[in-house]
Amino acid sequence: MQPGIYPDIMINKISGYISAWAGANLSYAGRTELIKSVLQGVECFWLSILPTPAGVQAKIIKLCRNFLWSGKCNKNKRPLVAWRDITPPKIEGGLGIRNSKAWNKALLSKTMWDIQAKIDTLWVQWVHQIYMKYANFWEYQIKHDDSPLIKQVIALREEIIATERSQQAEAHKINQWMANGELNSKLAYEYFRPKAIKLQWPKVIWTNYATPKHAFIFWLAMKEKLLTKDRLHDPGANQLCSLCRTENETAEHFHLFFQCNFVRQVWNSIKRLARVPQISYDIKSSCQMVDQGSQRHGYPIQSKKAGHSLHHLFCMGSKKSQNI
Ligand SMILES: [Zn+2]
C-alpha cells in the first residue's frame, strides 16, 4: 500500500458510516454510542496495524465531533462541550469516548512489547533482521531511514523511560499491563490517558435504568451547557422565559429548572407523586438529593425520575420558545 493512502481509506470509511446515519434522526445519546462502538472500532482496526500519520487523529476527531453535535460529518456546529471534556470516563465527568492519542500509544505499546520480547512472528523477526540487526531493543538508537513505525515505537520507549525515570522501571510498568501472556491495550490505555478525580454525580446520571437521551440531557445540565436562552449568546434576543413569560432566563439553568413559577408547580406535583420529601433549588444540590435518596431507595428509580423530569422541563422550555 502506498504511504498516504491508508489514512484516506480510514477517513472515507468513517465519513461513509456517518453519511449513512445522517438521516436517521438520532439523539445525542445514540450518536455517542455509535462513535464509541463503530467509529472508534474502525479507527482501532487501522491504528493496530499501521502507524498514524500526523494530522490523521485530528481529522478523525473532527469527524466524530461534527457527528456528535450536528449529526453530519461535514457540518461544523459549535460543540456544547469541548472534546477534551468528553473523552474522560463517565465517572470522571466525561462520556467515555476514547482519547485517540492515548489509545494510539496503548496500541503502539503492544507493538513495542512484541518487538522487545522478540515474539515468534514473521513481522517481528523481519523488524529485528532489517532494522535492529539483532541489537538489544532497549539500547537501539533510531536511524534516519528507519520506518515511521520503528521511529514511533522508539519515541514511545523514550517517553515512558522519561516518566518512569529508568529502563528497569519502564519494563516493570509494562509488565503490569500483561494479561494471559499478552499486553492488554486497555490496561496500557489507562496509563496514557489524562486522569481527573472521580465524581459522585455521574453515578446518579448513568444507570442502566435511565433512558439514554434523558441521561444525556441530565449530563449537559450538570455541565451547565444546555442551550437555555441565557446561553444563546445573542444580545438582541428575547431572554424572557417561555414557560412563565414574566422573568428572564438566568445563568446556570437556574431559572428554567428551579426558579420559574411554572416549573415550581411542576416540581411540587413531582414531589407529591414521587413522594420526594423536598425539592432543591439548584442542579448540583438536586443531584446530591437524588444521591441521598438513592442510598435509601436504590439508584435506578430515583435517577430515572430526576433525568426524566429535567429532560421534559428542558424540552417544554425549548418547544415553547420555538412555538412548537
Ligand atoms: Zn420562567
User: What is the CA(21)–ligand 1 centre distance, in A?
Assistant: 36
User: What is the CA(94)–ligand 1 centre distance, in A?
Assistant: 30
User: What is the CA(267)–ligand 1 centre distance, in A?
Assistant: 13
Stretch 117-141: mean pLDDT, rounded? 89
271-289 per-residue burial string, b: 16 or more CB within 10 A, e: under 16 = eeeeebeebeeebeebbeb
User: What is the CA(126)–ligand 1 centre distance, in A?
Assistant: 70
Query: Could you count the other beta carbons within 10 Å of the beta carbon of residue 292?
Result: 12
Q: Which three three-digit cell numbers place residue 228?
A: 437555555
User: What is the CA(255)–ligand 1 centre distance, in A?
Assistant: 6
User: What is the CA(240)–ligand 1 centre distance, in A?
Assistant: 8
Stretch 267-289: mean pLDDT, rounded? 73
> What pLDDT digit, counting tens, does each position of 236-260 carry?
677 788 888 888 877 667 788 888 8
At residue 155, does pLDDT exceed 60? Answer: yes
* pTM confidence score: 0.84
CA dist 163 and 172 (Å) reads 13
User: What is the CA(205)–ligand 1 centre distance, in A?
Assistant: 25
Average pLDDT along the chain: 83
- Strands in 169-276 per DSSP E: 178-179, 182-183
Percent pLDDT > 90 in the chain is 33
Q: pLDDT category, 320, cuts 50, 70, 90?
A: low
CA dist 249 and 234 (Å) reads 13
User: What is the CA(258)–ligand 1 centre distance, in A?
Assistant: 9
User: What is the CA(174)–ligand 1 centre distance, in A?
Assistant: 56
Contact 173, 260 (CB under 8 A): no
Closest CA to 267 of 300, 313, 304, 302: 313
CA dist 118 and 121 (Å) reads 8
User: What is the CA(70)–ligand 1 centre distance, in A?
Assistant: 28
Strands 178-179 vs 182-183: parallel, antiparallel or unpaired: antiparallel
Q: What is the pLDDT, as a whole number, of residue 297? A: 60
> What pLDDT digit, counting tens, does each position of 160-219 carry?
999 999 999 999 999 999 998 889 999 999 999 999 999 988 988 888 777 888 889 889
Query: Could you count the other beta carbons within 10 Å of the beta carbon of residue 184?
Result: 16
Going by the DSSP 8-state scheme, the letter that residue 179 receives in this structure is E
